[in-house]
Amino acid sequence: MPSSRLALLLMGLVGLALGGCMQATLAPSSDASFTPRDRQLLAHPPYARADIPESYRRHIVDYSRREAPGTILVDTESRFLYYVLPAGKAIRYGVAVGEEAMAFSGVATVGKMAEWPDWIPTPEIQARLGPYPPRIAGGPANPLGARALYLYEGNKDTLYRIHGTNQPEYIGQAISSGCIRMTNEDVIDLFDRVRQGATVVVLPPGRSAWNGPIAGPHG
């Protein structure tokens, strides 16, 4: 087989492997949506740049579930977050999720959105991992990273977040205290697409996104 045809065949197989039964296309890792402050704070971050496996980098994939465009779905088991697009597509991001005993699951909404948010450790986190200062100012050393989406059930803050990270090496793992972490570059990309009030579906550990929909809006 000519080398060019072999290369094309291998590229096709890699695309299938990345998406399971879905077609996957690597989305451009653009910093076009960065603000001047983003560029300044991320120019020399106080953490090592991680080599994110390609499967956990941003991809545009086929999406066969029934969630409406604009919905976020988190596949906790596979460590993927999907932002649903029109016409049966979604943007898939790699994430770090909570350890099973601390992971949020269910249907929520984006109740609040913040750029470079301050972090206020909860009493539970202070007891388990602290001591921390009562408030840590926003910035690249902050555990919430560049952006945060605050998950609400009705008018009540669940205390769970989708946010950036100062530990990108953990993307693809179940390591956090329950929140959903993304690279700062990816959370900025997601933040610019999401609207406050958007539905967020978080599947529990052990439940794949492709085992059928769960109860909830559009589910």
Continuous segment of H or E residues that includes residue 156: strand 156-163
Q: Give the model confidence (pLDDT) of 1-18 as tens digits.
A: 444 443 433 333 343 333
Tell me the pTM.
0.83
217 part of a folded domain: no
117 part of a folded domain: yes
181 part of a folded domain: yes
Residue 162 neighbours by CB under 8 Å, 6+ apart: 72, 74, 81, 95, 148, 149, 151, 179, 180, 182, 187, 190, 200
38 part of a folded domain: yes
15 part of a folded domain: no
* Active-site residue, 163 included: yes
Q: Mean pLDDT across the stretch 86-94?
A: 97
Our count of domains for the chain comes to: 1
d(CA 116, CA 10) in angstroms, rounded, equals 40
122 part of a folded domain: yes
Catalytic residue among 21, 44, 163, 218: 163
How many CA atoms within 13 Å lie on the side-chain side of 203?
Answer: 24
Question: Which domain range does residue 131 map to?
Answer: 24-211
Torsion of CA 162, 167, 168, 169, to 10 degrees: -130
* Active-site residue, 21 included: no
CATH number for position 55: 2.40.440.10
CA neighbor of 81 nearest in space, from 186, 168, 154: 186
31 part of a folded domain: yes
Q: Give the model confidence (pLDDT) of 15-61 as tens digits.
A: 333 344 468 898 887 787 899 999 999 999 999 989 999 999 999 99
Continuous segment of H or E residues that includes residue 109: strand 106-115
Catalytic residue among 21, 44, 59, 179: 179
5 part of a folded domain: no
